[in-house]
Amino acid sequence: MPSEIVRVSGHIIDSLILPKVLDEIMDLDGTFEILQLSIGKRKADPSTARLKVSARSQPALQTILKRLVRLGATPEFAPDVQLARARKDGVLPSTFYSTTNLPTFIRYRGRWRAVERIEMDCGIVVDPSRSRAICTPMIHVKRADLVVCGSSGVRVVPLERSRRREVFQFMHSPVSPEKPKAQLIAGVAQAMREMKRARRKILVVAGPALIHTGGGAFLERLIRAGWVDVLFAGNGLATHDIESALFGTALGVDLSRGTQTRDGHDHHMRAINTIRDCGGIRQAVRRRTVTKGVMHACVAHRVPYVLAGSIRDDGPLPDVLTDALIAQDVMRQQVRGVGLALMIASTLHAIATGNLLPATVKTVCVDINPAVVTKLSDRGTFQGIGIVSDAASFLRELCAALRL
Protein backbone atom coordinates (compact mmCIF):
# COMPACT_ATOMS: atom_id res chain seq x y z
CA MET A 1 0.00 0.00 0.00
CA PRO A 2 1.64 3.31 -1.09
CA SER A 3 2.27 5.81 1.68
CA GLU A 4 3.82 9.20 2.39
CA ILE A 5 4.91 10.97 5.57
CA VAL A 6 3.50 14.47 6.02
CA ARG A 7 4.06 17.12 8.64
CA VAL A 8 1.58 19.64 10.07
CA SER A 9 2.73 22.41 12.39
CA GLY A 10 1.42 25.56 14.05
CA HIS A 11 -1.64 25.99 16.24
CA ILE A 12 -3.07 22.82 14.75
CA ILE A 13 -5.23 21.79 17.70
CA ASP A 14 -7.25 24.89 18.63
CA SER A 15 -7.45 25.99 14.99
CA LEU A 16 -8.86 22.54 14.11
CA ILE A 17 -6.25 22.03 11.40
CA LEU A 18 -5.22 18.56 12.57
CA PRO A 19 -8.82 17.26 12.88
CA LYS A 20 -9.54 18.55 9.37
CA VAL A 21 -6.47 16.75 8.02
CA LEU A 22 -7.52 13.47 9.64
CA ASP A 23 -11.12 13.86 8.42
CA GLU A 24 -9.90 14.49 4.87
CA ILE A 25 -7.79 11.33 4.89
CA MET A 26 -10.69 9.19 6.08
CA ASP A 27 -13.22 10.83 3.74
CA LEU A 28 -10.99 9.87 0.80
CA ASP A 29 -10.72 6.24 2.00
CA GLY A 30 -7.15 6.63 3.17
CA THR A 31 -5.57 5.55 6.43
CA PHE A 32 -3.18 7.32 8.76
CA GLU A 33 -0.75 6.56 11.54
CA ILE A 34 0.35 9.32 13.90
CA LEU A 35 4.12 8.88 14.13
CA GLN A 36 4.76 11.90 16.33
CA LEU A 37 2.58 14.47 18.08
CA SER A 38 4.14 17.32 20.01
CA ILE A 39 1.59 19.66 21.60
CA GLY A 40 2.58 23.15 22.72
CA LYS A 41 2.27 23.74 26.46
CA ARG A 42 1.79 27.51 26.35
CA LYS A 43 -0.46 29.69 24.21
CA ALA A 44 2.37 30.87 22.01
CA ASP A 45 3.84 27.38 21.54
CA PRO A 46 3.21 25.68 18.18
CA SER A 47 2.28 22.02 17.90
CA THR A 48 3.67 19.54 15.38
CA ALA A 49 2.32 16.26 14.02
CA ARG A 50 3.99 13.70 11.74
CA LEU A 51 1.58 11.39 9.95
CA LYS A 52 2.05 8.36 7.75
CA VAL A 53 -0.69 8.60 5.13
CA SER A 54 -1.57 5.49 3.11
CA ALA A 55 -3.99 4.75 0.27
CA ARG A 56 -5.01 1.79 -1.88
CA SER A 57 -3.12 3.10 -4.94
CA GLN A 58 -0.61 5.75 -5.93
CA PRO A 59 -3.24 7.90 -7.74
CA ALA A 60 -5.50 7.72 -4.67
CA LEU A 61 -2.58 8.76 -2.46
CA GLN A 62 -1.80 11.72 -4.71
CA THR A 63 -5.43 12.82 -4.51
CA ILE A 64 -5.26 12.74 -0.71
CA LEU A 65 -1.94 14.59 -0.62
CA LYS A 66 -3.29 17.26 -2.95
CA ARG A 67 -6.17 17.91 -0.55
CA LEU A 68 -3.90 17.85 2.49
CA VAL A 69 -1.57 20.44 0.99
CA ARG A 70 -4.50 22.88 0.85
CA LEU A 71 -5.05 22.29 4.57
CA GLY A 72 -1.44 23.13 5.41
CA ALA A 73 0.19 19.68 5.46
CA THR A 74 3.61 19.33 3.83
CA PRO A 75 5.24 16.08 2.66
CA GLU A 76 8.31 15.52 4.80
CA PHE A 77 10.52 14.95 1.79
CA ALA A 78 9.09 17.63 -0.47
CA PRO A 79 10.58 17.72 -3.96
CA ASP A 80 10.85 20.80 -6.12
CA VAL A 81 7.64 21.80 -7.85
CA GLN A 82 6.76 20.31 -11.21
CA LEU A 83 6.72 22.88 -14.00
CA ALA A 84 5.23 22.82 -17.48
CA ARG A 85 5.16 25.45 -20.18
CA ALA A 86 1.92 27.04 -21.30
CA ARG A 87 1.21 26.14 -24.92
CA LYS A 88 -1.04 29.13 -25.67
CA ASP A 89 -1.76 32.60 -24.37
CA GLY A 90 -4.51 32.44 -21.76
CA VAL A 91 -4.39 28.65 -21.42
CA LEU A 92 -2.78 26.85 -18.46
CA PRO A 93 -1.32 23.33 -18.69
CA SER A 94 -4.00 20.73 -17.97
CA THR A 95 -2.50 19.71 -14.61
CA PHE A 96 -1.93 23.26 -13.31
CA TYR A 97 -2.10 23.95 -9.58
CA SER A 98 -5.14 26.11 -8.78
CA THR A 99 -4.43 28.56 -5.97
CA THR A 100 -6.34 29.34 -2.81
CA ASN A 101 -6.24 32.79 -1.19
CA LEU A 102 -4.06 31.47 1.66
CA PRO A 103 -0.34 32.26 1.96
CA THR A 104 1.37 29.83 -0.41
CA PHE A 105 4.98 28.72 -0.93
CA ILE A 106 6.61 26.60 -3.62
CA ARG A 107 9.84 24.66 -3.39
CA TYR A 108 12.02 25.76 -6.30
CA ARG A 109 15.74 25.14 -6.72
CA GLY A 110 15.87 23.60 -3.26
CA ARG A 111 14.31 26.55 -1.40
CA TRP A 112 10.80 27.49 -0.28
CA ARG A 113 9.69 30.69 -2.01
CA ALA A 114 6.59 32.76 -1.26
CA VAL A 115 4.04 33.10 -4.05
CA GLU A 116 3.51 36.79 -4.75
CA ARG A 117 0.11 38.53 -5.20
CA ILE A 118 -1.82 35.53 -3.95
CA GLU A 119 -5.52 35.23 -4.78
CA MET A 120 -7.87 32.32 -5.31
CA ASP A 121 -8.49 30.40 -8.54
CA CYS A 122 -5.33 31.34 -10.43
CA GLY A 123 -2.17 29.62 -11.62
CA ILE A 124 1.40 30.08 -10.38
CA VAL A 125 3.96 31.26 -12.94
CA VAL A 126 7.66 30.88 -12.13
CA ASP A 127 10.22 33.41 -13.37
CA PRO A 128 13.47 31.40 -13.48
CA SER A 129 15.66 34.44 -14.11
CA ARG A 130 14.70 35.92 -10.72
CA SER A 131 13.54 32.73 -8.95
CA ARG A 132 10.15 34.30 -8.30
CA ALA A 133 6.72 32.69 -8.12
CA ILE A 134 3.80 34.92 -9.10
CA CYS A 135 0.10 34.16 -8.77
CA THR A 136 -1.25 34.77 -12.27
CA PRO A 137 -4.85 34.88 -13.52
CA MET A 138 -5.51 32.48 -16.38
CA ILE A 139 -6.21 35.32 -18.81
CA HIS A 140 -2.69 36.74 -18.24
CA VAL A 141 -0.74 33.54 -18.81
CA LYS A 142 1.51 33.80 -21.87
CA ARG A 143 2.72 31.10 -24.21
CA ALA A 144 5.92 29.43 -22.88
CA ASP A 145 5.37 30.65 -19.29
CA LEU A 146 6.55 28.12 -16.70
CA VAL A 147 3.50 27.06 -14.69
CA VAL A 148 3.37 25.04 -11.46
CA CYS A 149 1.59 21.71 -12.01
CA GLY A 150 0.31 19.29 -9.40
CA SER A 151 0.67 19.83 -5.66
CA SER A 152 4.16 18.37 -5.13
CA GLY A 153 6.47 21.04 -3.78
CA VAL A 154 3.58 23.33 -2.83
CA ARG A 155 2.95 24.42 0.76
CA VAL A 156 -0.12 26.32 1.96
CA VAL A 157 -0.15 28.08 5.33
CA PRO A 158 -3.64 27.92 6.87
CA LEU A 159 -4.85 30.81 8.97
CA GLU A 160 -4.78 30.11 12.67
CA ARG A 161 -7.13 31.24 15.39
CA SER A 162 -5.84 34.38 17.10
CA ARG A 163 -4.30 33.68 20.49
CA ARG A 164 -5.93 36.83 21.92
CA ARG A 165 -9.61 37.59 22.07
CA GLU A 166 -10.68 39.90 19.28
CA VAL A 167 -13.69 40.70 17.17
CA PHE A 168 -12.21 39.01 14.09
CA GLN A 169 -12.10 35.52 15.56
CA PHE A 170 -14.04 33.14 13.33
CA MET A 171 -17.70 33.14 14.36
CA HIS A 172 -18.85 29.52 14.54
CA SER A 173 -22.44 30.46 15.40
CA PRO A 174 -24.80 31.31 12.54
CA VAL A 175 -25.13 34.90 11.35
CA SER A 176 -28.07 36.42 13.18
CA PRO A 177 -29.68 39.87 13.44
CA GLU A 178 -29.96 39.23 17.18
CA LYS A 179 -26.22 39.42 17.75
CA PRO A 180 -25.08 42.55 19.67
CA LYS A 181 -23.87 45.03 17.09
CA ALA A 182 -22.35 47.68 19.36
CA GLN A 183 -19.42 45.46 20.34
CA LEU A 184 -18.87 44.34 16.75
CA ILE A 185 -18.87 47.90 15.42
CA ALA A 186 -16.54 49.03 18.21
CA GLY A 187 -14.25 46.19 17.15
CA VAL A 188 -14.41 47.33 13.53
CA ALA A 189 -13.47 50.86 14.60
CA GLN A 190 -10.54 49.47 16.59
CA ALA A 191 -9.41 47.43 13.58
CA MET A 192 -9.51 50.59 11.46
CA ARG A 193 -7.29 52.38 13.98
CA GLU A 194 -4.87 49.45 13.89
CA MET A 195 -4.75 49.60 10.09
CA LYS A 196 -3.84 53.27 10.17
CA ARG A 197 -1.10 52.67 12.74
CA ALA A 198 0.27 49.84 10.58
CA ARG A 199 -0.06 51.98 7.43
CA ARG A 200 -2.32 49.41 5.81
CA LYS A 201 -5.11 50.53 3.48
CA ILE A 202 -8.83 50.41 4.27
CA LEU A 203 -11.06 49.40 1.36
CA VAL A 204 -14.80 50.07 1.22
CA VAL A 205 -16.95 48.05 -1.20
CA ALA A 206 -20.40 49.63 -1.37
CA GLY A 207 -23.70 49.02 -3.12
CA PRO A 208 -26.40 51.55 -4.11
CA ALA A 209 -28.57 50.60 -1.12
CA LEU A 210 -26.06 52.53 0.96
CA ILE A 211 -27.33 55.72 -0.69
CA HIS A 212 -31.01 54.69 -0.64
CA THR A 213 -30.92 54.13 3.14
CA GLY A 214 -29.34 57.52 3.81
CA GLY A 215 -25.87 56.17 4.52
CA GLY A 216 -24.13 58.32 1.92
CA ALA A 217 -23.57 61.21 4.35
CA PHE A 218 -21.80 58.91 6.81
CA LEU A 219 -19.57 57.32 4.18
CA GLU A 220 -18.75 60.81 2.93
CA ARG A 221 -17.78 61.74 6.50
CA LEU A 222 -15.46 58.73 6.74
CA ILE A 223 -13.79 59.62 3.44
CA ARG A 224 -13.24 63.26 4.38
CA ALA A 225 -11.79 62.20 7.74
CA GLY A 226 -9.23 59.95 6.03
CA TRP A 227 -10.66 56.59 7.08
CA VAL A 228 -11.17 55.29 3.52
CA ASP A 229 -8.22 54.66 1.20
CA VAL A 230 -9.99 52.93 -1.72
CA LEU A 231 -13.63 52.68 -2.86
CA PHE A 232 -15.01 49.86 -5.01
CA ALA A 233 -18.55 50.24 -6.32
CA GLY A 234 -20.63 50.10 -9.45
CA ASN A 235 -22.53 52.47 -11.67
CA GLY A 236 -25.49 52.35 -9.27
CA LEU A 237 -23.83 53.77 -6.17
CA ALA A 238 -22.09 56.57 -8.05
CA THR A 239 -25.24 57.44 -10.00
CA HIS A 240 -27.53 57.62 -6.97
CA ASP A 241 -24.90 59.47 -4.94
CA ILE A 242 -24.68 62.10 -7.67
CA GLU A 243 -28.47 62.13 -8.02
CA SER A 244 -28.62 62.82 -4.30
CA ALA A 245 -26.10 65.65 -4.62
CA LEU A 246 -27.93 67.26 -7.56
CA PHE A 247 -31.58 66.63 -6.69
CA GLY A 248 -31.68 65.46 -3.07
CA THR A 249 -33.23 62.16 -4.16
CA ALA A 250 -32.24 58.53 -4.69
CA LEU A 251 -34.34 56.67 -7.26
CA GLY A 252 -36.66 59.65 -7.10
CA VAL A 253 -37.27 59.35 -3.35
CA ASP A 254 -36.62 62.50 -1.31
CA LEU A 255 -33.91 61.44 1.15
CA SER A 256 -34.93 64.01 3.77
CA ARG A 257 -38.65 63.14 3.73
CA GLY A 258 -38.74 59.59 2.43
CA THR A 259 -41.45 60.43 -0.10
CA GLN A 260 -41.57 60.06 -3.88
CA THR A 261 -41.01 63.34 -5.71
CA ARG A 262 -42.87 64.44 -8.79
CA ASP A 263 -41.04 63.31 -11.96
CA GLY A 264 -38.33 61.91 -9.67
CA HIS A 265 -38.21 58.62 -11.53
CA ASP A 266 -35.91 60.13 -14.15
CA HIS A 267 -33.56 61.96 -11.77
CA HIS A 268 -30.90 59.24 -11.99
CA MET A 269 -30.89 59.47 -15.79
CA ARG A 270 -30.58 63.24 -15.64
CA ALA A 271 -27.70 62.86 -13.19
CA ILE A 272 -25.91 60.47 -15.57
CA ASN A 273 -26.53 62.81 -18.49
CA THR A 274 -25.11 65.76 -16.54
CA ILE A 275 -21.91 63.89 -15.72
CA ARG A 276 -21.54 62.64 -19.28
CA ASP A 277 -21.86 66.23 -20.47
CA CYS A 278 -19.07 67.27 -18.08
CA GLY A 279 -16.86 64.43 -19.31
CA GLY A 280 -16.71 62.50 -16.05
CA ILE A 281 -17.04 62.71 -12.28
CA ARG A 282 -13.71 64.45 -11.71
CA GLN A 283 -14.52 67.10 -14.30
CA ALA A 284 -17.95 67.64 -12.72
CA VAL A 285 -16.31 68.21 -9.34
CA ARG A 286 -13.76 70.63 -10.79
CA ARG A 287 -16.54 72.59 -12.50
CA ARG A 288 -18.46 72.61 -9.20
CA THR A 289 -21.39 70.94 -10.90
CA VAL A 290 -21.18 68.37 -8.08
CA THR A 291 -20.34 69.96 -4.73
CA LYS A 292 -21.05 67.22 -2.19
CA GLY A 293 -21.53 63.50 -1.75
CA VAL A 294 -19.41 60.36 -1.69
CA MET A 295 -17.92 60.76 -5.16
CA HIS A 296 -17.17 64.44 -4.52
CA ALA A 297 -15.32 63.45 -1.33
CA CYS A 298 -13.29 60.84 -3.22
CA VAL A 299 -12.20 63.37 -5.83
CA ALA A 300 -11.57 66.16 -3.32
CA HIS A 301 -9.46 63.93 -1.06
CA ARG A 302 -7.77 61.95 -3.83
CA VAL A 303 -9.24 58.64 -2.75
CA PRO A 304 -9.02 56.25 -5.73
CA TYR A 305 -12.25 54.59 -6.77
CA VAL A 306 -13.04 51.74 -9.14
CA LEU A 307 -16.52 51.66 -10.66
CA ALA A 308 -17.02 48.25 -12.28
CA GLY A 309 -19.95 48.01 -14.68
CA SER A 310 -22.55 45.34 -15.28
CA ILE A 311 -24.93 44.43 -18.10
CA ARG A 312 -27.88 46.16 -16.40
CA ASP A 313 -26.32 49.63 -16.01
CA ASP A 314 -28.10 52.77 -17.15
CA GLY A 315 -25.86 55.21 -18.98
CA PRO A 316 -23.36 54.37 -17.74
CA LEU A 317 -21.29 57.11 -16.14
CA PRO A 318 -18.08 57.82 -18.11
CA ASP A 319 -15.95 56.66 -15.17
CA VAL A 320 -17.45 53.16 -15.18
CA LEU A 321 -15.18 50.38 -16.46
CA THR A 322 -17.43 48.40 -18.77
CA ASP A 323 -14.82 45.74 -19.62
CA ALA A 324 -14.91 43.21 -16.76
CA LEU A 325 -11.34 42.04 -17.34
CA ILE A 326 -9.99 45.59 -17.22
CA ALA A 327 -12.03 46.25 -14.07
CA GLN A 328 -10.56 43.13 -12.42
CA ASP A 329 -7.01 44.22 -13.20
CA VAL A 330 -7.55 47.72 -11.84
CA MET A 331 -9.10 46.23 -8.70
CA ARG A 332 -6.10 43.88 -8.34
CA GLN A 333 -3.78 46.88 -8.40
CA GLN A 334 -5.81 48.72 -5.77
CA VAL A 335 -6.13 45.83 -3.30
CA ARG A 336 -2.37 45.67 -2.83
CA GLY A 337 -1.61 46.92 0.65
CA VAL A 338 -5.21 46.59 1.85
CA GLY A 339 -5.47 45.29 5.41
CA LEU A 340 -9.20 45.72 6.03
CA ALA A 341 -12.18 45.55 3.66
CA LEU A 342 -15.63 46.85 4.59
CA MET A 343 -18.25 45.32 2.27
CA ILE A 344 -21.49 47.23 2.76
CA ALA A 345 -24.84 46.51 1.08
CA SER A 346 -23.20 44.91 -1.94
CA THR A 347 -23.34 41.30 -3.07
CA LEU A 348 -22.02 41.43 -6.65
CA HIS A 349 -19.01 43.67 -6.07
CA ALA A 350 -18.29 42.25 -2.62
CA ILE A 351 -18.02 38.68 -3.93
CA ALA A 352 -15.85 39.87 -6.81
CA THR A 353 -13.59 41.69 -4.36
CA GLY A 354 -13.45 38.71 -2.03
CA ASN A 355 -12.12 36.60 -4.90
CA LEU A 356 -9.20 39.02 -5.28
CA LEU A 357 -8.26 39.44 -1.61
CA PRO A 358 -5.66 37.34 0.21
CA ALA A 359 -7.13 35.43 3.13
CA THR A 360 -5.03 37.51 5.52
CA VAL A 361 -7.12 40.63 4.80
CA LYS A 362 -9.74 41.21 7.48
CA THR A 363 -13.23 41.58 6.05
CA VAL A 364 -16.46 43.02 7.43
CA CYS A 365 -19.63 42.10 5.54
CA VAL A 366 -22.69 44.25 6.28
CA ASP A 367 -26.14 43.66 4.81
CA ILE A 368 -29.77 43.72 5.94
CA ASN A 369 -30.22 40.21 4.50
CA PRO A 370 -28.66 37.51 6.73
CA ALA A 371 -28.28 35.17 3.74
CA VAL A 372 -26.07 37.69 1.95
CA VAL A 373 -23.94 38.22 5.04
CA THR A 374 -23.47 34.46 5.45
CA LYS A 375 -22.49 34.05 1.79
CA LEU A 376 -19.91 36.84 2.00
CA SER A 377 -18.44 36.24 5.44
CA ASP A 378 -18.40 32.46 5.87
CA ARG A 379 -15.29 31.77 3.82
CA GLY A 380 -13.64 29.42 6.29
CA THR A 381 -11.22 31.96 7.74
CA PHE A 382 -10.74 33.48 11.17
CA GLN A 383 -10.54 37.09 10.04
CA GLY A 384 -14.06 37.76 8.71
CA ILE A 385 -17.19 38.90 10.52
CA GLY A 386 -20.74 39.42 9.32
CA ILE A 387 -23.08 42.10 10.62
CA VAL A 388 -26.80 42.05 9.84
CA SER A 389 -27.77 45.72 9.60
CA ASP A 390 -28.92 48.33 7.14
CA ALA A 391 -26.06 50.36 5.73
CA ALA A 392 -27.04 53.71 7.24
CA SER A 393 -27.35 52.37 10.79
CA PHE A 394 -24.00 50.60 10.58
CA LEU A 395 -22.20 53.65 9.20
CA ARG A 396 -23.85 55.98 11.71
CA GLU A 397 -22.62 53.84 14.62
CA LEU A 398 -19.20 53.41 13.03
CA CYS A 399 -18.80 57.18 12.72
CA ALA A 400 -19.78 57.54 16.37
CA ALA A 401 -17.24 54.87 17.39
CA LEU A 402 -14.56 56.81 15.47
CA ARG A 403 -15.72 60.05 17.14
CA LEU A 404 -16.74 61.69 13.86
- Residue 123 phi/psi, 5° resolution? -105, 175
How far is CA 340 from each of CA 98, 203, 229, 329, 343, rounded to the nearest angstrom? 25, 6, 10, 19, 10
Q: How many CB atoms lie within 10 A of CB 335?
A: 21
* Contact of 242 with 268, CB cutoff 8 Å: no
C-alpha span between 266 and 32 (Å, rounded): 66
- Residue 399 phi/psi, 5° resolution? -60, -40
How far is CA 1 from each of CA 4, 30, 60, 161, rounded to the nearest angstrom? 10, 10, 11, 36
What pLDDT sits at residue 182?
A: 85
What pLDDT sits at residue 174?
A: 52
Strands 230-233 and 305-307: parallel
Strand partners of residue 384: 363
What pLDDT sits at residue 170?
A: 39
According to DSSP, residue 261 is labeled: P
What pLDDT sits at residue 136?
A: 98
User: Which class for 198: exposed (0-12), middle (13-18), buried (19 or more C-beta within 10 A)?
Assistant: exposed
What pLDDT sits at residue 353?
A: 92
C-alpha span between 212 and 395 (Å, rounded): 13
According to DSSP, residue 175 is labeled: P
What pLDDT sits at residue 162?
A: 58
Provide block-wise average pLDDT over 10 residues at a time, the chain (404 residues): 90 87 94 92 86 93 90 88 97 96 94 95 96 97 97 86 53 55 89 96 96 95 98 97 94 82 88 98 98 98 97 95 97 97 93 91 91 67 76 96 96
For the chain, list the domains and their CATH numbers: 1-77 (3.30.70.2690), 78-158 (2.40.420.10), 181-401 (3.40.50.10690)
Coil vs helix vs strand at 132: strand
